[in-house]
């Protein structure tokens, strides 16, 4: 009996000891988790400027040095070396120096981002319903695909409000990862190329308007009648692909669709067009963005794919046809606002460009 009591007493003491040691361990785990969350910004810096201005990246740490790139508000960079007045950073394709007083560093980024950086939701399931209201009982107004990314307009603990094909709705955060969309710097060469492409597209639109041969006037029927494009010439495969793609301008958009005449979405469109010429690519825009080889938006040629998103990811793809223009399956609105149409390649800032046709 005495031995049993001793064993019982020892068991109680051991149990009490385990309870006592559990509390500080839990607190330590919480502290570790918080530190890990903050440490993801270690060695990083974010541009802290007005939204209507840009922050210069210079070749050397001096106001007299050449400007080699620019950061927008909330753009993020890797810190290479921090000096007393200038910090050497790398962001996008640009490595150079930025004045310290316009940067937020390390753990301070977390608080800065809450009020100054937009958020995006990346879909983590194959197909996710978009609902009219933040409830599983609410009407389904659309579908979004895995790995696609959308700007978050508003969020609660369980739901994120996004805009898809002109409609605003809610997706469950159980199947989407919400993160900040910091964005990265652009080189002066990239900025100049975008301006040149926009100017070329504007000039072509102006010329088309005077000759009466605008893309909107060249709408094709479901039979696929040919649409001419002065920006596309020659006999290269890329140009042939771009010419072929324009035959379907005016046909309808349909999410998840695979018919070039009856209804198709952006990634289905590029997949089907390239398949006609023997090129096999995946089905979603985010997956297509990792295929082929990367090309600069300043060195595009007909047949290249341009990808767009909300800084943090990809949610749209279009095919470059030359002259600063793309052809793409846009949205479910009636043509010419939606459907398969021709647009300025820089109507949105491309996230990246890929060349499938080598």
Catalytic residues, by residue number, are 266, 316, 328
Q: What's the residue count for the chain?
A: 358
Sign of CA dihedral 167, 172, 176, 181: positive
SS (H, E, C) 196-214: HHHHHHHHHHHHHHHHCCC
How crowded is residue 80: how many other Cβ atoms within 10 Å of its Cβ? 14
Spell out the alpha helix ranges (H) of the chain: 2-39, 108-116, 188-211, 237-245, 266-275, 285-288
How crowded is residue 334: how many other Cβ atoms within 10 Å of its Cβ? 9
d(CA 272, CA 260): 8
Grouping H, G, I as helix, E, B as strand and the rest as coil, residue 15 is: helix
- CB-based contact 97:65 (threshold 8 Å): yes
d(CA 342, CA 220): 12
Distance of CA 309 to the CA centre of its chain: 3
DSSP letter string over 36-71?
Answer: HHHHTTTTEEEE-S-TTS-EEEESSSSTTSPEEEEE
With left for phi above 0 and alpha for psi between -120 and 50, is residue 13 left, alpha or beta?
alpha
d(CA 273, CA 259): 11
With left for phi above 0 and alpha for psi between -120 and 50, is residue 115 left, alpha or beta?
alpha
Check whether the bond before 335 is cis (ω within 30° of 0): no
d(CA 31, CA 53): 38
């Amino acid at each position: 009996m005495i031995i049993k009591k001793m064993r019982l007493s020892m068991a109680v003491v051991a149990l009490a000891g385990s309870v006592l040691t559990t509390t500080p361990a839990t607190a330590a785990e919480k502290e570790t988790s918080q530190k890990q969350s903050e440490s993801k910004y270690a060695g990083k810096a974010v541009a802290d400027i007005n939204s209507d201005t840009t922050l210069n990246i210079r070749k050397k740490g001096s106001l007299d040095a050449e400007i080699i790139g620019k950061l927008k508000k909330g753009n993020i960079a890797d810190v290479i070396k921090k000096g007393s007045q200038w910090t050497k950073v790398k962001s996008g394709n640009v490595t150079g120096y930025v004045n310290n007083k316009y940067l937020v560093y390390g753990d301070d980024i977390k608080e800065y981002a809450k009020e100054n950086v937009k958020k995006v939701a990346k879909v983590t399931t194959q197909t996710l319903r978009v609902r009219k209201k933040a409830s599983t009982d609410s009407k389904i107004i659309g579908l979004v695909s895995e790995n696609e990314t959308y700007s978050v307009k508003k969020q609660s603990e369980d739901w994120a409000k996004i805009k898809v094909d002109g409609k605003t709705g809610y997706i469950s955060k159980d199947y989407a990862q919400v993160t900040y969309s910091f964005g990265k710097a652009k080189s002066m060469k990239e900025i100049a190329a975008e301006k040149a492409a926009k100017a070329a597209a504007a000039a072509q639109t102006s010329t088309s308007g005077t000759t009466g041969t605008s893309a909107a006037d060249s709408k094709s029927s479901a039979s696929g009648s040919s649409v001419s494009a002065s920006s596309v010439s020659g006999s290269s495969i890329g140009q042939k692909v771009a010419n072929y793609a324009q035959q379907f301008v005016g046909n309808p958009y349909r999410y998840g669709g695979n018919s070039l005449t009856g209804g198709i979405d952006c990634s289905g469109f590029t997949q089907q067009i390239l398949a006609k010429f023997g090129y096999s690519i995946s089905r979603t825009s985010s997956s297509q963005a990792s295929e082929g080889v990367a090309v600069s938006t300043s060195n595009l040629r007909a047949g290249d794919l341009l990808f767009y998103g909300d800084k943090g990811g990809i949610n749209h793809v279009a095919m470059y046809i030359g002259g600063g223009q793309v052809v793409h399956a846009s949205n479910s609105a009636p043509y010419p606002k939606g459907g398969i149409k021709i647009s300025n390649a820089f109507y949105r800032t491309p996230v990246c460009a890929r060349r499938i046709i080598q």
